[in-house]
Amino acid sequence: MAHVQLTPDELIQEFQSFDDWNDRFQYLIELGDQLEPFPEEERRDENLVQGCQSNVWLVARVVDSDPPRMELLADSDSQLVRGLIAILMILLSGKTPQEVLQTDVESVFRQLELQRHLSRSRSNGFHSMVRRIRQLAEQYLQ
């Protein structure tokens, strides 16, 4: 989980406080810089997210709490993608698998107006990360 402790609403407010894309882009980079370090032993092919232009490693663990919650860890070799990962951490890490499946990530993505500024391949990669996280949540529910 990112060291940044923002709620989804706070994240949206932060993005909306910037007037231009350059400021939003810089904020994305700063969010990515605050990701927790990714364990080197998890940088394996099976943890790579398929469909991303950049390398993205993603793992999920269920924390034994009541109810059990998913803890997500991810990293990328792209600064911009690290920022997108941070957004996903804010939205999904620490939630139950059921809450992960019910979270409308795409709605937040639209509210942040990211689709207007990301290339098609970056947008596709973002959605690939969301799909992977949802697959992991579904596996935990089975």
The verdict on residue 59 lying in a domain is yes
CA–CA distance, 130 with 142 (Å, rounded to integer): 19
Looking at the domain assignment, is residue 86 inside a domain?
yes
What does the pLDDT profile of the chain (142 residues) look like in tens digits? 444 578 888 999 999 899 888 999 999 999 999 999 999 999 999 999 998 789 999 999 988 888 889 999 999 999 999 999 999 999 999 999 999 999 999 999 888 888 788 888 888 889 999 999 999 999 998 8
Question: Does residue 3 lie in a domain region?
Answer: no
pTM for the model stands at: 0.91
Residue 97 lies in a domain: yes
How far apart are alpha carbons 49 and 109 in whole angstroms?
19
Tell me, yes or no, whether 99 lies in a domain: yes
Residue 57 domain-assigned?
yes
- For residue 126, what are the domain limits? 8-141
Give CA–CA dist 89/4, Å, rounded.
9
User: For position 118, which CATH number holds?
Assistant: 3.90.1010.10
β pairing state of 56-63 and 69-76: antiparallel
Tell me how far apart the alpha carbons of residues 97 and 113 are, in angstroms, rounded to a whole number.
Answer: 26
Residue type, 63: V
Asked whether residue 1 is assigned to any structural domain, the reply reads no
Residues 50/11, Cβ–Cβ less than 8 Å: no
Grouping H, G, I as helix, E, B as strand and the rest as coil, residue 117 is coil
- Residue 17, in any domain of the structure: yes
> At 127, which amino acid appears?
H
- For the annotated catalytic residues, the residue numbers are 52
As for how many domains the chain has, the answer is: 1
